[in-house]
Amino acid sequence: MLIDKDKDWTSFDVVNKLRFKLKYKLGIKRFKVGHAGTLDPMATGLLLVCAGKYTKAIDSLVLKEKAYLADLKLGASTPSYDAEIEEDAQYPIEHISKELVEETLNQFRGKIEQFPPMYSAIKVKGQKLYDLARKGKEVEREARPIEIYKCEITDFDLPHLQLDIECSKGTYIRSIAHDLGQALDSGAYLTGLRRTSIGNFSIDDALSVEECAKWIEECEHSENE
């Protein structure tokens, strides 16, 4: 199922909603449902939800390249690298031009090393980074190899910047925003994110959660299916 996730929904919320609808429709107590690639609550866009025997495909779907439209604010930063937490610092942006951003983006194309944000679910010595971050602690993180296939400017209007990004599994768009701000001798954080594709699956073919739930309700079902 191709879902266009709304803002403020967690990926788990989407899975729970559709699992409930499927279990009720099929008249069974247990039914496997999962998603292929988490989207943060503030992000919108394509979420692949697999059910039944198709949950076996999740591991392969997670590996597929992904595309995003990312909205950034230049000249400020937040501890989470996105708008979930209030700004904690401001920086000059008078020296930033579209040409400078375009030149700097060359550092973020191809195979690069990326440090995950503290506000992430990655575990260090058995503890999730975001749990440590909420306690005001910061720990050393290991850089991880990722690949950026495309990173292009689609809108530039200081302090606003929008990027069209295609990337490999494991890429944190929040970290790209933060790192780009530093590379510009300024600051930046993510104000909006929309996933537009996963492999050959496009947001153009996706349904909202409510549309998919309604489709499940209206589907004809027989015991032989």
Q: Return the residue matching tokens 């079902």.
A: 221
Classify 75 in phi/psi space as left (phi over 0), alpha (psi -120 to 50) or beta.
left
Q: Enter the tokens of residue 198.
A: 């996963």
User: How close are the terminal C-alpha atoms of the chain, in Å?
Assistant: 17
Q: Which of 8, 3, 1 is nearest to 193 (CA)?
A: 8
Mark 77-108 as b/e (b = at least 16 C-beta within 10 Å): bbbbbbbeeeeeeebebeebeeeebeebbeeb
Query: Which residue in the block uniquely carries the two structure tokens 């031009």?
Result: 97
Q: Which residue has the tokens 């559709």?
A: 18
Q: Is 40 a catalytic residue?
A: yes
Q: Which of 6, 8, 13, 40 is catalytic?
A: 40
Grouping H, G, I as helix, E, B as strand and the rest as coil, residue 23 is helix
| Neighbouring residues of 110: CB distance < 8 A, sequence distance ≥ 6 | 147, 148
List active site positions.
Answer: 40
